[in-house]
Chain A
Amino acid sequence: MDKKTSDVVFQIADFVENDLDTLLEIALALVGLIPGMSMVAKIIDLLVKHRSKIMLAAGLAKKVSSPTTAGEDDEFANSEEQLCLEQSDPKELFLSLVEDAKADGVVTDEEREYLIPRGLRAGYSLKEIEQMLVIK
């Protein structure tokens, strides 16, 4: 993992380490009073929804970037969230990415471009991936 990528991962982890519930309350109190606040609330909501997965993924990524510190940052690996090992199947893991992408009701072109090669790598055909990305 290069430094820029790891910096981004650490930033995202920092967001999650914030007291998101408090932030969400403040954002909701300010929505309507401040024009940009609804977008901020969306960001916080996104982080809240994916909090446990972000912590797990960032924990893994952090250990990758700093293997010598493995064991010192177990706070990222939230033991409350246990990865179902059925999901170790690359296809299942890709399906979870698709679910995450669709969670906000929109799959943007950028998300589509990001997901398609990963779906192909997981063993899905392009047609199958396109069908998965359709929001019904």
Chain B
Amino acid sequence: MGFLDGLLDSVNKTASDIASGISGKQEPSISSIFDNSNKADSCWTSRKPLYDLYVSLRAMNFNVPNDYDSFERMLTVGEKNNEAAAAQCRHKIYEEMVTKKCGAPNTYSAFYSVLFEPISKTASRAKSHYISDVQQSKPADASQSNQSFFGSLSDSISKAVDDVASTIGDVAGDVAKTVSDAASVATSTIGQWADDFLGLIVIKLRELVGQIDFNQTIADVEKVGKEKDIDVAPMVKFLKQLQDFAANGQENK
């Protein structure tokens, strides 16, 4: 029985079995591993979060390898150095933890970011210690809402963008035809995501602009701006852009 089969078998145990498995034990609870609020002290920062997860999973009778090194290897470099298989294992564990309500975070991205860090386009390694809220915090800005999606690869995206540009540029936008090896699969996937994401934003914008009477709104904004002595010029310019966008949308329909 392979690891994944064993894992599936073990998580098919009832939730109560799992709960009873962890009751009264000293191992860290899974939720505490992903709770970032108290990780500043050395007791947390000196351990691998993945190790704590391993201990917890063992305590809950998940069918994990007998030693931690094998467990980490399985989730990072994969069996027979198959990084795709390692990624599949990570997803599988996360999904089953969610299914069994074992205290997994709400998103895979959060799960990944606590336990792993990327070292190349396809490979990850276990984080060497917890990162506290203090260490993780960044100046607040509106783009933070995207942080759950965008990870923290310090050196990859500029290269990824360039790779996508060169790969896609070679075929003048026909991204699919560029897929000939693993690297181009990755970059074309990102290119496809870009197209899909923009399409979704267009749908959302059109839905919203369709509910605005632009001529009336622009007139109202200019009037109120004068009355209240508010500089509304940027808003008027923006509304006119949106109006053009809405008009183009009608033409394209």
Contact = CB atoms under 8 A, between A and B. Distances in A.
Interface of A: 1, 4, 7-9, 11-12, 14-15, 18-23, 26-27, 29-30, 33-37, 39-40, 42-44, 46, 48-54, 56-61, 63-65, 67, 70, 74, 77-97, 99-101, 104, 108, 110-111, 114-115, 118
Q: Residue among B142, B191, B228, B244 with the most chain A CB within 10 A?
A: B142
B interface, over-half SS: helix
Nearest to A110: B203
Contacts of B164: 60, 63
B180 interface: no
Interface string B166-178: 1011101101000
Task: Report the contact-size class of chain B (Cβ under 8 Å from the partner).
Answer: 35 or more
B193 interface: yes
A interface, over-half SS: helix
A57 B198 contact: yes
Contacts of A56: 157, 161, 194
23 contacts: A11-B241, A15-B238, A27-B235, A33-B228, A35-B216, A37-B221, A40-B212, A49-B145, A52-B150, A54-B198, A57-B197, A60-B194, A63-B168, A64-B191, A70-B162, A81-B143, A90-B192, A99-B107, A111-B204, A114-B200, A114-B203, A115-B200, A118-B196
Given A12-B202, A101-B200, A114-B203, A96 B193 contact: yes
Contact of A93 (B172, B193, B220, B242): B193
A118 B199 CA distance: 11
Contacts of A22: 234
A53 B146 CA distance: 7
